Structure 1
Amino acid sequence: MPGTGAPDARTRILDAAEELFAGDGFDATPTSRIAERAGVAKALLFYYFPRKDGLLEALIAERLPEPPLCRVGSVARRGDLKGSLVRLARALDLGGRKSRVLRAVLFRDLGSHPSVLAHRFRLRTALVELTEQVLDAASPFTLDRLRRRQAADTYVSLMLVEADHRRFAGVLPDLAAAASIVSRALAGPAAGLSLA
């Protein structure tokens, strides 16, 4: 209700859909459960979202990360490639609580919904570009473009794997160790570069 601080019906529907999709998956969640969880009539749910896919598309558009994901200057430190990559992963927090939909929907429902696949492609592209910018800002010398792209792609792959693995109770990739390996690969014979 307006003015009471209670979320409006559309927001409650999206909140319920986010929670249920994250827990049970898109395909296993009927719209009736979403309406029930949101405390609305099913007809109101269909007023806002005539198709169930519309709920998923709204969650992707409104609640998943979009560029700019973080500011390069807040994480990059000249001469500290490894630390800059570690700070980037922390700043993005792709596997954090705020990214439940990212972890559950973006990975589990990837193959079955074109809108999820398209968002994941845009997100991955933005992450690689951001990582390249961080590497450029952190490096005391000009990086080879191909090596920089490969390093960024490798690190982004591990960040996404780490985000996905947080859904399970398994062993998480060590992003700091990966940052060290990526940094060493880029540094080559350069002197004075902090790789610790």
Structure 2
Amino acid sequence: MTAPAHARHTKRQLIVETAERLFAEHGYDATSTARIAHEAGVPSGLVFYHFATKLELLLAIVQERPAPSEVLRTAARGRTVRRRLRRIVDTMAQQLEDDRATRIIVFREAQGRPEIASRAAELFEEAAVTVAEVLAGADDIVDDPARVRTAAELVVSRVFLDTVALGQDDTPAKRHAAVIDLLAESLTRPAAPHGVRPQN
């Protein structure tokens, strides 16, 4: 008798989650599919029923994460560049912390696995595009798409590198306050002429 579809999906997800934890803790090469199956509480053959190879399982972990754009678009609240930058930094840092195991895996395995490096590049590009779009919607943004795009890449790079160093105090926005101020000054239109009140 065949198991219901939802049961098969549950077992697959359990395998993915167990592999993610073990790959983050011990590394991809040091983790066998037998250990993944054992800790997931499933037969070894079930791992290969869902994934043809261990590398396919690794790719599933990296590829099936929520897209950065889904989370970063929530940072569009706030009318000014500065407020949006603060929200972007906090939102990105929280997402990276929530996906800490995947981040560790990508950072470690991208060095020698082109498939992981390629996926990491795709995620960076998507995040940079989304951050640029969120910034472009601010009321006081400069009319300079190239500058906005460069700022977006700097924000994504800075926050990702910051999350590699764990145990830091303060909120992400406070840790990156100087960068936020610098970028906000670079991206904000000049103040309105004297006597004309700018919109907030």
Distance 1:111 1:193 in 2: 47
Query: What residue is the counterpart of 2:156 in the other structure?
Result: 156
Query: What residue is the counterpart of 2:51 in the other structure?
Result: 49
Residue range with higher mean Cα deviation, 35-44 or 135-144: 135-144
Query: What residue is the counterpart of 1:178 in the other structure?
Result: 179
Secondary structure of the corresponding residue to residue 90 of structure 1: helix
Query: What residue is the counterpart of 1:69 in the other structure?
Result: 70
Contact kept in structure 2, 1:132 and 1:148, CA below 8 Å: yes
TM-score by length of 2: 0.80
Distance 1:3 1:148 in 2: 46
Q: CA-to-partner distance for each residue in 1:123-180, whole Å, 9 max, x for gaps?
A: 11111111111111114244312211211111111121123323xx467972333222
Task: Determine whether 1:104 maps to 2:112.
Answer: no
Distance 1:133 1:175 in 2: 20
Query: What residue is the counterpart of 2:25 in the other structure?
Result: 23
Contact kept in structure 2, 1:95 and 1:164, CA below 8 Å: no
Alignment length, in residue pairs?
A: 189
Query: What residue is the counterpart of 1:126 in the other structure?
Result: 126
Following superposition, the deviation at residue 193 of structure 1 comes to 8.3
Query: Over aligned residue pairs, what C-alpha RMSD do you find?
Result: 2.9
Distance 1:104 1:193 in 2: 43
Distance 1:54 1:3 in 2: 21
Contact kept in structure 2, 1:94 and 1:102, CA below 8 Å: no
Identical-residue share of aligned pairs (%):
30
The verdict on how the C-alpha distance between 1:171 and 1:26 changes in structure 2, with shifts beyond 3 A counting, is: farther
Q: More helix per residue: 1 or 2? A: 2
Following superposition, the deviation at residue 94 of structure 1 comes to 3.0
The verdict on how the C-alpha distance between 1:68 and 1:151 changes in structure 2, with shifts beyond 3 A counting, is: closer
Q: Which residue identity does 2:89 align to in structure 1?
A: A
Which runs of 5 or more structure 2 residues have no equivalent in the other structure?
A: 193-197
Query: What residue is the counterpart of 2:61 in the other structure?
Result: 59
Contact kept in structure 1, 2:15 and 2:40, CA below 8 Å: yes
Q: Among 4, 7, 10, which residue is 1:8 paired with?
A: 10
Secondary structure of the corresponding residue to residue 137 of structure 2: helix
Which runs of 5 or more structure 1 residues have no equivalent in the other structure?
A: none
Distance 1:85 1:65 in 2: 21
